[in-house]
Structure 1
Amino acid sequence: MLKKENNIPIKKNLHPRNKHINGYDFASLIETNPKLKNHVFTNKYGNETIDFANPEAVKALNKTLLLHFYDVTFWDIPKTNLCPPIPGRADYVHYIADLLATSNNNKIPKGNHIKGLDIGIGANCIYPIIGNKEYQWKFIGTETDVPSLKACAKIIENNEQLNKDVSIRIQQNKRNILKNCILENERFDFTICNPPFHSSREEATKGSQRKLRNLGKANEGKPILNFSGQNNELWTEGGELTFITNLIYESAHFKKQCMWFTSLVSKKENLKPFYNHLKKVGAVEVKTIDMEQGNKISRFIAWSFLTTQQQENWAVINWD
């Protein structure tokens, strides 16, 4: 007989500081939000879970996790926007904290004098929520999509701590990433970015169908595009290769205004061209940081135009 476990490890090898490393304790989560119970069922292995192909179920889980672990009392996004997997997003934030520590005598800098730029904050505001709660960092988020920006602004306005430490800027020119969003003499300690990685809507749709198959869902009717997700969140002309390449070349214009530029990289084969471009623009230090989540390995690339000594000076001047 299969043993039933209420506290199921959802991911192996999450970052050790990740609040979700021990899985979803649905009993505790339902105490926090009784409405979540409507979406919880026992699977064939005897474990409690939700239907991760159902956007409403995922949204209910996210709302509960954000309240339970991050004190977010209001969180709502339009049905057309991405509902992010919170454990994986949290991993990225924690590994950025470790990255900053390498420039600070292995001590993670905390407090709202540490400032991050969230490139494409989206409707969900997820990176600022996690970074602000875990490390008290301040964030500025950029966004090209006005409805997403409005949804994000509502989350910020309705959560007191976020209202103090998170602000958003509209990127008027969709051809730009950093230009007009990083102001003259403005300083950021890091950027964080989950770029649109598909190169077309068709490619994004195929990716969604692949995810549904992995979840054991039959193709019924029209495909669910990534279980929701606006075009600008999922795909861009040229995919992540073009987007991150453009980010690299733009970052060279702000080399003294940001210590670490970072971006998630979905396709490992894109790393080589990124390293070549970074060499061309004169990046001093480049790192690829792998993140393991169960059978999936994700990664982000990080680069700095500052030498080790300049990074240490930055930390002394700005963080102490």
Structure 2
Amino acid sequence: MSGKRPAAQLHPRNRHQGRYDLDQLCSSYPELRKFVKTTPKGQKTIDFANSEAVIRLNQALLKHYYNVQHWSIPKGYLCPPIPGRADYIHYAADLLGSLNLGQKTVKVLDIGTGANLIYPIIGSQAYGWHFVASDIDPVSVESARAIVSSNKNLSGKIRIEHQHDKNSLFRHIIQPSDQFALTLCNPPFHASKKEAEAGTQRKWKNLKSSAVKRGGNTRIPDKKSLNFGGQANELWCEGGEIRFLKNMVRESAEFSQQVFWFTTLVSKKENIALLRKLLVEEGANQVKVKVKQMSQGQKISHMLAWSFMSREEHKLKG
């Protein structure tokens, strides 16, 4: 039997289609076995309201599919749903497919990589990309560096940078000699702590509803008992998603000749039209603004991508 995961239409190359094969995952990572239980309907699952169980599931997935032997996050930090995170990487890879990069090393920048380092892990192992990963939080930076240093297959492919300027995204990270094929970002989408807590409670209710349908008995924890986790800078920022992304668009214009594809996730569909307009104002080629839909756990996110360069310009810059 397999474990339940949210039904979603994943990218065709996403290796996490359908239900979790918990028997297979336990074979690769035996520590997961003690968290597997059988529902009254005879289905194997884990308690997704149990933070340790969710972390062990992620460790099993990362070991089984991406050969990551050692992965952990500090207590209270964001524990991401790996299938949805992988979708972003695969859709980004589709964008790069149009560049005809051949055997060139693909250099990618991950803005706000977090303590979990999930996008550089998946991108480096699924496609061989080389990453610069940045974050403003020193604990996240330390955690991300520990993950890289404890896994030989990540060392040499991922470099972690501490962004000391909380008002900047690309500045101080992109150096004058840098050329990136792609940038990634999964921005904080809440505008306040209260809004983030309300979103967390909705997740719990969805978990309980899902568990009841399976014949389980998942409780709804209080706000202090976060299995999803997340620090303030991971979940919310002043002005919310739209302010964060407007700042990103404006700052991206400063690096228009050093990055081919700028990309970000956008959780609120109504923000896309505003961002499209701003991108045109900042000089991005309107034809190169693309929107994709993808699974991100229990919600649908959009990937917004823009470029200031033509393919010919990118070839000249190598």
Q: Give 3-state SS (helix, strand or coil) of 2:93's partner.
A: helix
C-alpha separation in 2, matches of 1:7 and 1:55: 16
Alignment-derived partner of residue 32 in structure 2:
36
C-alpha separation in 1, matches of 2:251 and 2:41: 49
Write out aligned runs for 1:200-215 (5 A).
Answer: 200-215=192-207
Name the % identity.
Answer: 46
* 1:24 aligns with one of 10, 20, 24: 20
Write out aligned runs for 1:1-320 (5 A).
Answer: 5-6=1-2, 11-104=7-100, 109=101, 113-216=105-208, 218-225=219-226, 227-284=228-285, 285-292=288-295, 296-306=299-309, 310-315=310-315, 318=318
Does the 8 A contact of 1:11 with 1:293 survive in 2? no
C-alpha separation in 2, matches of 1:233 and 1:162: 23
C-alpha separation in 2, matches of 1:9 and 1:205: 23
Q: Give 3-state SS (helix, strand or coil) of 1:192's partner.
A: strand
Structural RMSD (CA): 2.0
Q: Give 3-state SS (helix, strand or coil) of 2:153's partner.
A: helix
Mean CA deviation greater in 262-271 or 20-29: 20-29
Unaligned runs of at least 5 residues, structure 2: 209-217
C-alpha separation in 1, matches of 2:219 and 2:68: 35
Does the 8 A contact of 1:195 with 1:264 survive in 2? yes
Q: Give 3-state SS (helix, strand or coil) of 2:156's partner.
A: helix
TM-score (normalised: structure 1): 0.90
C-alpha separation in 2, matches of 1:120 and 1:292: 20
Q: Give 3-state SS (helix, strand or coil) of 1:142's partner.
A: strand
Letter in 2 for 1:207: G
C-alpha separation in 2, matches of 1:85 and 1:129: 13
Unaligned runs of at least 5 residues, structure 1: none
Does the 8 A contact of 1:10 with 1:24 survive in 2? no
Does the 8 A contact of 2:73 with 2:143 survive in 1? yes
| Pairwise CA distance, 1:224 | 3.5
Does the 8 A contact of 1:29 with 1:64 survive in 2? yes
C-alpha separation in 2, matches of 1:164 and 1:300: 28
C-alpha separation in 1, matches of 2:295 and 2:230: 24
Letter in 2 for 1:174: K
Letter in 1 for 2:191: S
* Cα 1:280/1:211, change in 2 over 3 Å: same
| Pairwise CA distance, 1:293 | 6.3
Q: Deviations over 1:107-136 (max 9, x none)?
A: xx5767100000011111111111111110
* Cα 1:226/1:220, change in 2 over 3 Å: closer
For CA contacts below 8 A with separation 6 or more, give which structure has more relative contact order: 2
C-alpha separation in 1, matches of 2:70 and 2:229: 20
Q: Give 3-state SS (helix, strand or coil) of 1:60's partner.
A: helix
C-alpha separation in 2, matches of 1:36 and 1:312: 49
Does the 8 A contact of 1:41 with 1:50 survive in 2? yes
* Cα 1:277/1:180, change in 2 over 3 Å: same
Does the 8 A contact of 2:81 with 2:297 survive in 1? no
Q: Give 3-state SS (helix, strand or coil) of 1:80's partner.
A: coil
Does the 8 A contact of 1:208 with 1:226 survive in 2? no
| Pairwise CA distance, 1:174 | 0.2
